[in-house]
Structure 1
């Protein structure tokens, strides 16, 4: 009997922006993501898709012609990457600072205990958490 292999869905988080270039610098040079794809003027939308090639998730930043995208409405607009290996975590934080991105105080003190928070050019935050994700 052939049983279908169950696979996890791939997650894409899409977000509007007013300027793709600074976001790509932040997430590629600073955070170490890769540019997975990009598109230009597709029915009025241009964008870049960033992530880690083997990860089942990626980020899409979209510029819509004629629209103004608002900045993050709250400091709790977060993406959190769990990096349990202290060497890997330190490398991630050092890469951000080497590219000119300094940590910002976390709004929620939980993220300060074992993490470093950075704010992207649109005001959204990326946390490198030095813990394992345990459900």
Structure 2
């Protein structure tokens, strides 16, 4: 059975300003871009073949604003310690300083960063379990 693909979409006032954070910091590729698609410009980012990707859109004439809270975030689980350290180093090289998590449990085994729109990303050094 094939699993569905997850697309996380969110508005931004400046999708282009997000690219260094997600491309250089998280290693995402630009999967596609679109302009004036029914009044929206946008970019989709992801890893080719991965079952998830991110879409950032800007609506003509509308303001998206910043994240509504400090707990609007994505969490990436990286079980291998070496790969986790490399991911954290990439985020810092991309200019993203670590921030204290709203939920302090996320700081126990991870590091949080904030994108230019105020949304948070946690890179957690652990295996995801239910």
TM-score range, shorter chain: over 0.9
Provide the secondary structure at the position in 1 that maps to 2:13. coil
Partner-residue secondary structure (3-state), 2:7: strand
Map of 2:15 onto structure 1: 20
| Alignment coverage as a number of residue pairs | 130
Distance in 2 of aligned mates of 1:98 and 1:14: 26
Q: Secondary structure at the match of 1:7?
A: coil
Partner of 1:125: 120
The alignment yields a C-alpha RMSD, in angstroms, of 0.8
Which residue pairs with 2:73 in the alignment? Answer: 78
Indicate the larger mover: 57-66 or 23-32. Answer: 23-32
Shift of 1:103: 0.4
**In 2, Cα distance between the equivalents of 1:50 and 1:118?**
18
TM-score (norm 1): 0.94
1:10 Cα deviation from its structure 2 partner: 0.5
TM-score after normalising by structure 2: 0.97
Distance (whole Å) between structure 2 residues aligned to residue 54 and residue 106 of structure 1: 30
Structure 1 stretches of 4+ with a deviation exceeding 3 A read: none
Provide the rounded CA distance (Å) in 2 between the counterparts of 1:22 and 1:29. Answer: 12
> Which structure: larger Rg?
1
